[in-house]
Structure 1
Amino acid sequence: MSEVTLKGFILVAKDELTVVKHALGRHTQLTREEPGCIQFDVTQSQENPCRFEVFEVFKNKEAFEHHQARVQSSDWGRLTVNVERHYEVFE
């Protein structure tokens, strides 16, 4: 099986920025601890503080899908329900 890479960005509303930034550390930690997570980086843009660059690599499709399912039912998933997601996924 081949690796799955997700890259893109999220846009966070200004009024949700503090909550999202506060939750990001725990979300990052939990994701990096997932079996099959090779790399997970979310970086706030210097030019636009409401934009976060996202780069993820998982060892296979199963690990990627497990991550997606976990996120949906997590605190991060609930806190970021209104975040605009702009991703491309490569297998």
Structure 2
Amino acid sequence: MITLTGYIHVPADRLEAVSAALPAHIALTRAEPGCLSFEVTPDHAQPGRFTVSERFIDRAAFDAHQARAGTSPWAEVTAGIPRHYTIEEIEG
């Protein structure tokens, strides 16, 4: 299993566009083969910060997600926004 945890901190001037694109990104990711869970939630203590938690069944499913997401409208709307993620592979 592959897990990704961390956050993305969206600048105030891009928050509206990112928030608008988020529901489609979540729905598309959750529909991907091998996606076990995918959560992106606002951090109410820090405006603009979204906590990210992902679990994929294996490296192939995670890599497929990264490839799809990397060429998606989500990638366009979040281009240049730094991500702060930790990726861990868990042997089962």
How would you bin the TM-score normalised by the shorter chain? over 0.9
Measure the CA separation in 2 of the matches of 1:72 and 1:90: 19
The equivalent residue for 2:49 is: 51
Give the 3-state SS of the residue equivalent to 2:15 in structure 1: helix
With the length of structure 2 as denominator, give the TM-score of the two structures: 0.95
Q: Which runs of 5+ in 2 are unaligned?
A: none
Identity %: 45
RMSD, matched Cα: 0.5
Measure the CA separation in 1 of the matches of 2:16 and 2:47: 11
Give the 3-state SS of the residue equivalent to 1:28 in structure 2: helix
Map 1:1-91 onto structure 2 (within 5 A).
Answer: 3-91=1-89
Q: Which runs of 5+ in 1 are unaligned?
A: none
Give the 3-state SS of the residue equivalent to 1:41 in structure 2: strand
Measure the CA separation in 2 of the matches of 1:87 and 1:15: 22
Measure the CA separation in 1 of the matches of 2:37 and 2:26: 10
Runs of 4 or more, structure 1, over 6 Å off, are none
Counterpart of 1:32 in structure 2: which amino acid?
Answer: R
Measure the CA separation in 1 of the matches of 2:13 and 2:68: 25
Task: Tell me by how many angstroms 1:82 deviates.
Answer: 2.1
Number of residue pairs the alignment of both structures matches? 89
